[in-house]
Amino acid sequence: MSSEKKNNLKYLIGQNIRKIRRGQGISQDRLSKLADLSLNTIVNIESGANINPTIYTLNKIANALGVTVDDLMR
């Protein structure tokens, strides 16, 4: 996979997290607490500032949202 495609996927993950979170009516602050992550981590992933979240971080977010990591990548 090209680096451009990888970066697009990572940006897509942030967009998907935002979409799922908003669909559930959860604020970024609430998600950070549910996932036991810093608010800054959530903001940076959603905005694309962090284009390399770890699988551990994505798993925590997915669990907090009640979805799978795979759902975050679609």
CATH number for the domain that contains residue 22: 1.10.260.40
Residues with Cβ < 8 Å from 60, sequence gap 6 or more?
35, 36, 37
Question: What is the residue range of 61's domain?
Answer: 3-72
CA–CA dist 58, 72 (Å, integer): 8
DSSP 66: T
**Half-sphere exposure of residue 46: CA atoms within 13 angstroms, side-chain side:** 18
DSSP SS3 for 25: coil
Res 5: pLDDT: 59
pLDDT in 10s for each residue of the chain, 74 residues = 666 655 576 678 999 999 999 999 999 999 999 999 999 999 999 998 998 899 999 999 999 999 999 999 88
How far apart CA 30 and CA 61 sit, in angstroms, is 11
Number of domains forming the structure of the chain: 1
Report pLDDT for 1: 60
